[in-house]
Amino acid sequence: MMPKSPRIWQLAERRYGLLGSKCTVCGKTYIGPRNVCPVCNSEKIETIQLPPRGTIYSYTVVHTLPAEKDNYGPYIMAIVELEDGTKLTAEIVDCDSEDVKIGMRVELAFRVIGQESEHGIIYYGYKFRPIISRT
């Protein structure tokens, strides 16, 4: 079910750079490109840099794996609310499944998302990890 090579390239820049969309009329922001604001119907949408930090809005530990995650093991999926209020879906890494919590602060981690096949292209994108206090 995973996208094939051309589709990966269509969204690569946005996924690599955590780019989002912002309606210049009502100010609502989204992950992913949009041409029409679903809140105010404006077509004045600009591409913005989303903030690389946020908090966990909800999470789950996925134990029953989809086919493309065969042998990947249990992993944490979350909806992350970024510092500007934008919400997105991402895997949480560098975190034990017992430690993840709603409200936990997380930051962007650029990672491999998957691979098309054994010899196919590797695709990348954003994941998030707990912010470690560096004292």
Partner 1 sequence: MRDVAVVGIGMTRFGERWDKQLRDLFVEAANEALKDANMNRKEVQALFVGNFSAGSFVGQEHVAPLLADYLSLRSKPAFRIESACASSGMAFNLAYMAVASGIYDIVMVGGVEKMTDISAPEAMSVHAKAMDVEWEAFFGLTLPAAFALIARRHMIQYGTKPEQLAMVSVKNHKNATKNPLAQFQFEVTVERVLASPIVSDPLHVLDCSPVTDGAAAIILCSAELAKKYTDTPVYVLGFGTASDSIALHDRFDITTLYAVVSASRQAYKMAGIEPKNIDVAELHDNFTITEIISYEDLGLCEKGKGGLMIEEGETEIGGRIPVNPSGGLKARGNPIGATGAAQIVEIVQQLRGEAGKRQVSGAEIGMTQNIGGSGSTCVIHIFGRQRR
Q: Distance (Å, rounded) from C-alpha 117 to C-alpha 38?
A: 36
Give the residue, chosen from 50, 59, 95, 106, that forms a contact with partner 1 under the rule CB under 8 A.
Answer: 59
Q: Distance (Å, rounded) from C-alpha 32 to C-alpha 12?
A: 11
Which has the closest alpha carbon to 38: 54, 22, 15? 22
- Our finding on whether 91 is near partner 1 (CB under 8 A) is yes
Give the residue, chosen from 53, 69, 105, 129, that forms a contact with partner 1 under the rule CB under 8 A.
Answer: 69
Q: Distance (Å, rounded) from C-alpha 22 to C-alpha 13?
A: 17
- Our finding on whether 45 is near partner 1 (CB under 8 A) is no
Binding positions for partner 1, 95-124, rule CB under 8 A: 102, 113
Residue 36 and residue 58 in contact, taking contact as beta carbons nearer than 8 Å:
no
Binding positions for partner 1, 4-23, rule CB under 8 A: 7, 11
Q: Which residues bind partner 1 (CB under 8 A)?
A: 1-3, 7, 11, 30-32, 38, 57-70, 75, 77-79, 87-91, 102, 113, 125-127
